[in-house]
Chain A
Amino acid sequence: GENVEQHPSTLSVQEGDSAVIKCTYSDSASNYFPWYKQELGKRPQLIIDIRSNVGEKKDQRIAVTLNKTAKHFSLHITETQPEDSAVYFCAAGGGYNKLIFGAGTRLAVHP
């Protein structure tokens, strides 16, 4: 089955810096790679996703890149703000295959 590894587990940056979170997956059949953000005490919410026919996708300060050959994908947050502080989860899945989540990255953005 699918296995998703996520690094780093914690990340601390200064406001305005960029943050990068990386994930690797094992199942070459996976073709859908979402990222979820979970603020403290809240539910996870989708912030961006990418499908295997696309190499990069951007939404304002957030971008995701996918390398299917190497089976890894990354989340890039530019110009970080304190409200970006949260736990971020990557996931991998495909078709009707269930999503498998990474262990999460706790991002702290310091003013």
Chain B
Amino acid sequence: NAGVTQTPKFQVLKTGQSMTLQCAQDMNHNSMYWYRQDPGMGLRLIYYSASEGTTDKGEVPNGYNVSRLNKREFSLRLESAAPSQTSVYFCASSEWGSGGRELFFGEGSRLTVL
């Protein structure tokens, strides 16, 4: 099993460009999440999907959109990238809800917005 796979691993964008981060999990998990990690700020939840067909805002959703394409895939879209969105992005999944279940993270995607 590959676990949680996210692409691309690295991306450089110019301000105003758009891009989509892709995430797929093969563990048959119901819930999926997108976090961003910035120095000294820990892991902050952007959006999550408790189950296929549902999405909800997390702590820092502004400037992002998500799509739960199916049970396996959860994508994160930046419509008009800004330098403040320079960060490392982690996709994660859990069996059902993050409140009491282990989160399995992808390897991360490092995004730089110039």
Contacts and interface: CB of A to CB of B under 8 A. Distances in A.
Interface of A: 1, 6, 9, 31-32, 34, 36, 42-46, 49, 51, 89, 91, 93-104
A59 to B, nearest CB: 14
A43 B45 contact: no
Contact of B107 (A32, A43, A96): A43
B48 A98 contact: yes
B37 to A, nearest CB: 9
A9 B40 CA distance: 8
Interface residues of B, number: 23
Nearest to B100: A32
A43 B106 contact: yes
Interface of B: 33, 35, 40-45, 48, 50, 58-59, 90, 97-100, 102-103, 105-108
B103 A46 contact: yes
Contacts, number: 63
B99 A94 contact: yes
Contact of B42 (A34, A93, A95, A101): A101
Given A34-B102, A43-B90, A43-B105, A96 B50 contact: yes
B100 A44 contact: no
A89 B42 contact: yes
B108 A43 contact: yes
A72 to B, nearest CB: 17
B40 A44 contact: no
A36 B107 CA distance: 14
Nearest to B38: A103
B40 A93 contact: no
B58 A98 contact: yes
Contacts of A89: 42-43
A99 B42 contact: no
5 contacts: A32-B99, A32-B100, A43-B106, A44-B105, A98-B98
Contacts of B90: 43-44
Given A36-B103, A42-B107, 14 more contacts: A6-B42, A31-B100, A44-B90, A46-B102, A49-B102, A89-B43, A93-B98, A93-B99, A96-B50, A96-B99, A98-B48, A98-B98, A98-B99, A101-B44
